[in-house]
């Protein structure tokens, strides 16, 4: 193969150098039962044109978001991404080296990261933000670990209205860290008592706003209760556009804010890649994971940018690192920054208002569906309803009609039969009134 530079003689020399006789010997620690006894079930090599045709045919089997009425959400929301975003992020002034291990050389990267941090701090209402993380779920896990380091406590309380992916990633990430993760049951009616569960051993309480079931809450009282007990409040946001309209978590007393940046500058792309936003108070900056880009001046007094804080393990921190996350979502952060700059503060607010108006319009139309019940009256662009039959069946019937009609909660919580009728529906600025009318007409037939 012309793309593999090694010759058979090269391979023999390499095997001899490490003391094995064949490539198969490299896998001797893998149990025979776990090894394949034949080639992978994939087509053999083909020409470029044939491969393109084959992949195009496979892609054509997908029901993509832009071709049908689309109401999916549950942590990943469809928004319009201006064409200017893609054009700008490819400019060399911004898209320099991906990871600035020699940061002063990568001024374009550091400048946009500095702007990115500023934007994130402003929309979350916090003092400082880092230069991005993998996604919202891993940022949530990092926030819980950070709270434990700050408080020197080991008990983490997760709200039942926290996205199930954030719950599971947090529990998985911290299971061998000596911390206790107490995840409350999912609570579609929002009746859980978080205040009564906070005690002297609580490191942090993690909540989501708007919640997984769509409800918006005032977190002021919860923040006060956390602080009175010496605990921290961590707020997760899965819909970044909501920060253009809802009171920012920092203004409600949050100590750490994490969010998913997907949707601003970054299209759905069938679920990723994501963009983790992470912000906190100045006094906790030394415990913040990730990297921090800062502004300075050079020897001639010219403005420049540097890595101010690098607490990651590959920056020689090793066991002293606050996080083992080894990268940031640099290109996604650049796209986020460009889109936010194009919107501006007023543009983000108008976009958020439009999203909320679309959801209110959808809620009004759903009232005509027999047996459908709206669970909450305060929501942003996603709402939860109950339907007369299992929501998963309803969604499957809608898909047969080429309508992507929401996300059944049972997809995340199959062991909670009481959640089988709950359906999440999201409406954004991309949702047309005729899409809503098609959904409502189909629900009247599919949900009964």
Q: What is the CATH number of the domain that holds 104?
A: 3.40.640.10
* Single residue among 317, 340, 363 that ends a domain in this structure: 340
259 and 357 share one domain: no
* Single residue among 281, 313, 340 that ends a domain in this structure: 340
191 and 231 share one domain: yes
184 and 123 share one domain: yes
Evaluate whether residue 212 is within a structural domain: yes
Can you give the pLDDT at residue 319? 67
CA 423, CA 48: separation in Å to the nearest integer? 43
Give the model's confidence band at 317: pLDDT under 50 very low, under 70 low, under 90 confident, else very high: low
Domains identified in the chain, total number: 2
Evaluate whether residue 308 is within a structural domain: yes
Evaluate whether residue 379 is within a structural domain: yes
372-400: average pLDDT: 97
240 and 143 share one domain: yes
CA 235, CA 338: separation in Å to the nearest integer? 25
Residue 99 has pLDDT above 70, yes or no: no
Evaluate whether residue 195 is within a structural domain: yes
Mean pLDDT of the chain: 92
285 and 354 share one domain: no
Can you give the pLDDT at residue 333? 94
**Which residues have a Cβ under 8 Å from the Cβ of 408 and sit 6 or more positions away?**
390, 391, 392, 394, 395, 420, 422, 423, 424
What domain range is 360 assigned to?
Answer: 345-446
**How large a percentage of the chain has pLDDT more than 90?**
77
According to DSSP, the β-strands at 291-297 and 303-310 are antiparallel
Give the torsion through C-alpha atoms of 184, 206, 291, 269, to 10 deg. Answer: 60
According to DSSP, the β-strands at 407-408 and 422-426 are antiparallel
* Helices and strands, counts by H and E, the chain: 10, 13
**Which residues have a Cβ under 8 Å from the Cβ of 289 and sit 6 or more positions away?**
130, 133, 142, 145, 146, 278, 311, 312, 322, 323, 325
Evaluate whether residue 207 is within a structural domain: yes
Evaluate whether residue 126 is within a structural domain: yes
305 and 432 share one domain: no
426 and 285 share one domain: no
Concatenating the DSSP letter of every residue in 380-398 gives SSEEEEE-SS-HHHHHHHH
73-78: average pLDDT: 96
Annotate 5-29 with b (16+ C-beta within 10 A) or e (fewer). Answer: eeeeeeeeeeeeeeeeeeeeeeeee
Evaluate whether residue 21 is within a structural domain: no
DSSP code at position 298: -
CA 205, CA 148: separation in Å to the nearest integer? 11
Hunting for tokens 């061998």 — which residue is that? 176
Hunting for tokens 């669970």 — which residue is that? 375
351-359: average pLDDT: 98
Give the model's confidence band at 401: pLDDT under 50 very low, under 70 low, under 90 confident, else very high: very high
Concatenating the DSSP letter of every residue in 6-24 gives --HHHHHHHHHHHT-SSGG
What CATH number is attached to the domain comprising 404? 3.90.1150.10
151 and 273 share one domain: yes
**273 prior amide bond cis, ω within 30:** yes
CA 392, CA 413: separation in Å to the nearest integer? 12
322 and 357 share one domain: no
435 and 311 share one domain: no
Evaluate whether residue 74 is within a structural domain: no
389 and 306 share one domain: no
Q: At what angle do helices 391-400 and 433-446 cross, to 10 degrees?
A: 120
Largest CA distance in the chain: 75
What is the three-state SS of 28-67? CCCCHHHCCCCCCCCCCCCCHHHHHHHHHHHHCCCCCCCC
> What's the whole-model pTM score?
0.88
Give the model's confidence band at 223: pLDDT under 50 very low, under 70 low, under 90 confident, else very high: very high
216 and 280 share one domain: yes
Can you give the pLDDT at residue 307? 84
Of 276, 285, 235, the residue nearest 255 (C-alpha): 235
* Single residue among 324, 340, 356 that ends a domain in this structure: 340
Hunting for tokens 């083992």 — which residue is that? 324
Give the model's confidence band at 104: pLDDT under 50 very low, under 70 low, under 90 confident, else very high: low
Residue 142 CB coordination number (10 Å): 28
End-to-end alpha-carbon separation of the chain, Å? 59
């Amino acid at each position: 193969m012309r793309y593999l530079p090694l010759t058979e003689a090269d391979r023999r020399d390499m095997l001899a150098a490490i003391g094995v006789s064949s490539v198969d010997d490299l896998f001797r620690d893998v149990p025979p039962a776990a090894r394949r006894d034949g080639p992978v079930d994939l087509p053999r090599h083909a020409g470029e044109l044939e491969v393109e045709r084959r992949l195009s045919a496979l892609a054509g089997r997908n029901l993509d978001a832009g071709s049908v009425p689309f109401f999916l959400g549950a942590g990943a929301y469809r928004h319009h991404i201006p064409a200017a975003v893609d054009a700008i992020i490819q400019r060399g002034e911004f898209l320099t080296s991906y990871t600035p291990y020699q940061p002063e050389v990568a001024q374009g990267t550091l400048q946009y990261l500095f702007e990115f941090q500023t934007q994130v701090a402003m929309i979350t209402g916090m003092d400082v933000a880092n230069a991005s993380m993998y996604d919202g779920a891993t940022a949530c896990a990092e926030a819980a670990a950070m709270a434990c380091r700050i408080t020197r406590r080991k008990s983490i309380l997760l709200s039942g209205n926290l996205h199930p992916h954030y719950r599971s990633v947090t529990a998985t990430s911290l299971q061998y860290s000596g911390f206790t993760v107490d995840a409350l049951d999912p609570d579609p009616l929002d009746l859980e008592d978080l205040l009564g569960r906070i005690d002297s051993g609580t490191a942090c309480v993690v909540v989501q706003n708007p919640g997984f079931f769509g409800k918006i809450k005032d977190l002021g009282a919860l923040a006060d209760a956390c602080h009175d007990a010496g605990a921290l409040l961590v707020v997760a946001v899965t819909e970044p556009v909501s920060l253009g309209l809802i009171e920012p978590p920092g203004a409600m007393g949050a100590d750490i804010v994490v969010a998913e940046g997907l949707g601003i500058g970054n299209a759905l792309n069938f679920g990723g890649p994501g963009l983790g936003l992470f912000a906190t108070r100045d006094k906790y900056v030394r415990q913040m994971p990730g990297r921090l880009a800062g502004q300075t001046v050079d020897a001639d007094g010219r403005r420049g940018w540097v890595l101010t804080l690098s607490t990651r393990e590959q920056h020689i921190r090793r066991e002293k690192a606050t996080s083992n996350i080894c990268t940031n979502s640099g290109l996604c952060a650049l796209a986020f920054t460009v889109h936010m700059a194009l919107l501006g503060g007023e543009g983000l607010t108008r976009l958020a208002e439009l999203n909320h108006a679309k959801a209110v319009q959808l809620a009004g139309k759903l009232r005509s569906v027999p047996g459908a019940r709206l669970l909450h009256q305060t929501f942003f662009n996603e709402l939860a309803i109950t339907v007369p039959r299992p929501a998963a069946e309803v969604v499957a019937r809608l898909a047969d009609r080429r309508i992507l009609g929401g996300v059944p909660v049972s997809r995340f919580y199959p062991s909670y039969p009481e959640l089988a009728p709950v359906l999440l529906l999201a409406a954004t600025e991309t949702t047309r009134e005729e899409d809503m009318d098609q959904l409502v007409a189909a629900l009247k037939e599919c949900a009964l």
